[in-house]
Amino acid sequence: DEIKAKAKTAKKADPYAASVDPATQQMIIKAHNDEVETIFDRALTLKPCNIGEQGTCCKNCSQGPCRLPLPKKGIEGKDTRMGLCGATPETIAARNFIRMVAGGAAAHSDHGRGVAETFLAAARKETDDYTIKDTEKLLEVAKYCNVPTSVMVEGEDGQKVQEDRDIYDIATDVGELALAQWGQQEGEVVPVLQAPEARIQLWRDLDVMPRGIDREIVEIMHRTHMGVDQDYRNLIKQGSRAAIADGWGGSMLATDLQDILFGTPYPVQGEINLGVMKEDHVNVIVHGHEPLLSEMIVVASQDPELLKLAEEKGAKGIVLAGMCCTANEILMRHGLPIAGNYLQQELAIVTGAVDAMVVDVQCIMESVANVAMCYHTKLITTNPRAMIESGETIHIEFDEHSALEDAKKIVRTAIENFPNRRAQPIIPNEKEQMVVGFSQEAVKYHLGGTFRGSYVPLNDNIINGRIRGIAGVVGCNNARTTHDEGHLIVVKELLKNDVIVLTTGCNAMACGKAGLLTPEAAKVYCGAGLAEVCETVGIPPVLHMGSCVDNSRILLAASEVVKAGGLGKDISDLPVAGSAPEWMSEKAISIGHYFVVSGVYTVFGVGLPVTGAPRFQKYLFEELEDIYGGMWDLEVDPYEHARKMIQHIDKKRKALGLDK
């Protein structure tokens, strides 16, 4: 009642200014009618802090917070702003920036660690619920981990012969080596060695090769403690090490080991938007990030006993739909539907049709607990790292050793809640079809098994100009900007200009909802060259590569394009650009930074907390190009955002001698 009373008097968001997605608009209106406040309403009253927005608020010790906004008149002469300890705006902004890298890298990498632990349990046959599914991928990962896949044994005739090792023995060695990457103190994080040779050499020369995943994150926390590293260039150097340890380390291991456990994605059809829920079914939403949980919920939701129970409770079946990156994981591997992206999490509950929302880690708004209380929805936390005090949240802990049992308990809770619906649900009609599942293995397969020299190879089409370049457009939604609008404008502008788009995360979902993830979209949205390639191969012009940890797939695809030849020696030579038009999470900053230090020009929308420190901003936006071949940029206008990316792609084409 208190929550509803507050909502009654609060300012209400204009649904059409808040989102371009009709299902979202409809549910914002329903929330207003139901007197339920959502993030869209709160964004009207709670304005961001101007100084924090500029990146120049320091709260790393208790003598502050020291706040150093840009003077209204701008800086005249020498910039004399400093905190109590003398920290310059540059030091403060750089410290804040790499703390975001640390937060993002920690989130991705801790996810990866959990996967590695479960992987090892599966390899050692300590759990029946997880097995080694994709042996082909295991052998590939074993190769880069230097784990032998065969041994010499003595044959019957006394001669030495080569014998394949047992798959589970190989997996155990891979799992042990993988898990060791987190605590490693010296040397180089192993998966990083899949980068192009020139990039590896550059990182060695710059002394930014990550030694161990955890070590680099911890060192950020040390260096940004009061009175340690006070040189923005040196701070960014450590940010680079940690970001590489994320993209080419923790995230990459998460993706690879998940592929081995659950299968490498290949093209599959799916559906997206709130309309995937069914009024007469039990609706379970899995929200968060880790497929360890959602994979088991998939199995549980198909359990005959539970389906029977659902029927007994008056439901026609069970709909399992995903939200945020968990959604991408189960979509990519099983074709299961997606209910929506980040900004739709409260609105799914507002339909009144969600019998349980099951969450694990990352991007889960605490407010879903309040919204759930306004309906009948059970909010279930499952991870000991992520509990929610608000509302009436229940915690059913998920343990990899009793995974299926735990998952069944969760699904049973949802089914038993089905008869408790308080009113007739209102589910928007909107849902779109899509073709997804483009791992780098699938992209390669669809382009003729190679990036060069046969069927419709990618590199040759870039060289001949049918494809102008490649863009990685990824990242979140952000309530400070119109939901999905930036994503869609940037992607459509790129397609129009023959730039093929690789996508992950919430951008992928925005594209899915707008019908861009279908082969038919090629004809409608692409320039003639790109349309021709997509139509010949039968692929969508926007290739959905997975969740946010799967941005590592984009890195590997870029690395493969370099290795296939004809387009320079390093990722920084390629006609490629990166973008996150609606970013909001620290993970996005870590992703952005590993794109940049991998040699990619990367543009963010919304805003970047660097504008209060002009020298630091110049370092990120301009000077990094001379060091890494990639640099940051900020562009709020989505048309200009895409134009800048295309301009960079053209610059690279020219440098390669492709366009005179």
- 235 lies in the site for ligand XCC, by CB under 6 A: no
Q: How far is the CB of 203 from ligand XCC (least distance, A)?
A: 25
Between 88 and 482, CB nearer to ligand XCC = 482
Measured from the CB of residue 658, what is the shortest distance to ligand XCC in angstroms?
A: 32
- Output b/e per residue, 428-445; b: 16+ Cβ within 10 A: bebbbebbbbbbbbbbbe
| Three-state secondary structure of 513-535 | HCCCCCCCHHHHHCCHHHHHHHH
Residues between 456 and 475 with contacts to ligand XCC, criterion CB under 6 A:
475
Residue (301 or 585) nearer to ligand XCC, CB = 585
Nearer to ligand XCC, 365 or 447 (CB): 365
Strand partners, 323: 287, 340
Tell which residue, 352, 279, 347, 351, has the closest CA to residue 319: 279
Report the greatest alpha carbon distance in the chain: 89
357: helix, coil or strand? strand
- Work out how close the CB of 600 gets to ligand XCC at its nearest, in angstroms, rounded to a whole number: 17
Q: How far is CA 133 from CA 110, 251, 321, 616, 617, in A?
A: 23, 20, 23, 47, 46
CA–CA distance, 566 with 272 (Å, rounded to integer): 38
Q: How far is the CB of 141 from ligand XCC (least distance, A)?
A: 23
Site for ligand XCC in 564-603 (CB under 6 A): 585, 587-588
Angle subtended at Cα 16 by Cα 278 and Cα 477, rounded to the nearest 5 degrees:
70
- Closest distance to ligand XCC from the beta carbon of 626 (Å): 30
Backbone angles phi, psi at 32, to 5 degrees: -60, -45
When binding is defined by CB under 6 A, the residue of 39, 315, 363, 649 that contacts ligand XCC is 363
Integer Cα distance of 493 and 236 in angstroms: 32
- Smaller CB separation from ligand XCC, 494 or 510: 510
Q: Is 112 in the site for ligand XCC (CB under 6 A)?
A: no
Query: For residues 92 and 325, which CB has a smaller minimum distance to ligand XCC in the complex?
Result: 325
Minimum CB distance to ligand XCC smaller for 321 or for 363: 363
Nearer to ligand XCC by Cβ, of 319 and 548: the residue is: 548
CB of 549 to ligand XCC, least distance (A): 8
Convert 90-113 into a string of H (helix), E (strand) and C (coil).
Answer: HHHHHHHHHHHHHHHHHHHHHHHH
Instruction: Tell me the Cα Rg of the chain.
Output: 25
Pick the closer one to ligand XCC by CB: 325 or 372.
325
- For 140, the token pair is 């590939």
**Whether 490 contacts 642, CB under 8 Å:** yes
Smallest gap from Cβ 585 to ligand XCC, in A, equals 4
Cα–Cα nearest to 529, from 579, 445, 442, 458: 458
State the minimum distance, in angstroms, from the CB of residue 506 to ligand XCC. Answer: 3
Number of residues near ligand XCC (by CB under 6 A):
13
Cα–Cα distance for residue pair 119/174, rounded to 1 Å: 9
Residues 298-357 that bind ligand XCC (CB under 6 A): 324-325, 342
Q: E strand or H helix at 246, and its extent?
A: none
Closer by beta carbon to ligand XCC, 215 or else 333: 333
Specify the residue, 120 or 325, whose C-beta has the smaller distance to ligand XCC.
325
Task: Compute the least distance from the CB of residue 326 to ligand XCC, in Å.
Answer: 8
What's the token pair of residue 238? 């450590």
Give the shortest CB-295-to-ligand XCC separation in angstroms.
17
Output 215 or 587, the one with its CB closest to ligand XCC. Answer: 587
Secondary structure E strands in 83-223 = 150-154, 160-164
Considering only 102, 190, 369, 476, the residue that binds ligand XCC (CB under 6 A) is: 476
Ramachandran angles phi, psi of 124, nearest 5°: -85, 5
Which tokens go with 562?
A: 């370099």
Closest among 624, 600, 650, 659 to 196, alpha carbons compared = 600
Site for ligand XCC in 386-445 (CB under 6 A): none
Nearer to ligand XCC, 109 or 585 (CB): 585
Given the complex with ligand XCC, which of 54 and 547 has the nearer CB atom? 547
As measured in angstroms, the least distance from the Cβ of 6 to ligand XCC is 25
Q: Nearest distance from residue 430's CB to ligand XCC, in Å?
A: 19
Please answer whether residues 475 and 583 qualify as being in contact, where contact means their C-beta atoms are separated by less than 8 angstroms. Answer: yes
Nearest distance from C-beta of residue 389 to ligand XCC, angstroms: 21
The least CB distance from residue 107 to ligand XCC, in Å, is: 8
The only residue of 506, 555, 613, 624 in contact with ligand XCC, by rule CB under 6 A:
506
Sheet holding 268-272, edge to edge: 394-395, 378-381, 354-359, 282-287, 318-323, 338-340, 268-272, 432-436
| Nearer of residues 282 and 336 to ligand XCC, judged by Cβ | 336
Which stretch of DSSP H or E encloses residue 343?
Answer: none
- Residue 358 is classified by DSSP as E
Q: Which is nearer to ligand XCC, 363 or 462 (CB)?
A: 363
Give the span between the Cα atoms of 97 and 588, in whole angstroms. Answer: 12
How remote is the C-alpha of 391 from its chain's centroid?
28
DSSP state of 454: S
Rule CB under 6 A: choose which of 505, 568, 630, 638 binds ligand XCC. Answer: 505
What minimum distance in Å lies between the beta carbon of 360 and ligand XCC?
Answer: 12
Closer to ligand XCC by CB, 463 or 548: give it: 548
Q: Cβ(232)–Cβ(619) under 8 Å?
A: yes
SS3 146: coil
How far is the CA of 69 from the CAs of 46, 76, 94, 605, in angstroms? 19, 14, 15, 21
Query: Is 548 among the residues that bind ligand XCC (CB under 6 A)?
Result: yes
Query: How near is the Cβ of 358 to ligand XCC at its closest, in Å?
Result: 15
User: Which positions lie near ligand XCC, rule CB under 6 A?
Assistant: 324-325, 342, 363, 475-476, 505-506, 547-548, 585, 587-588
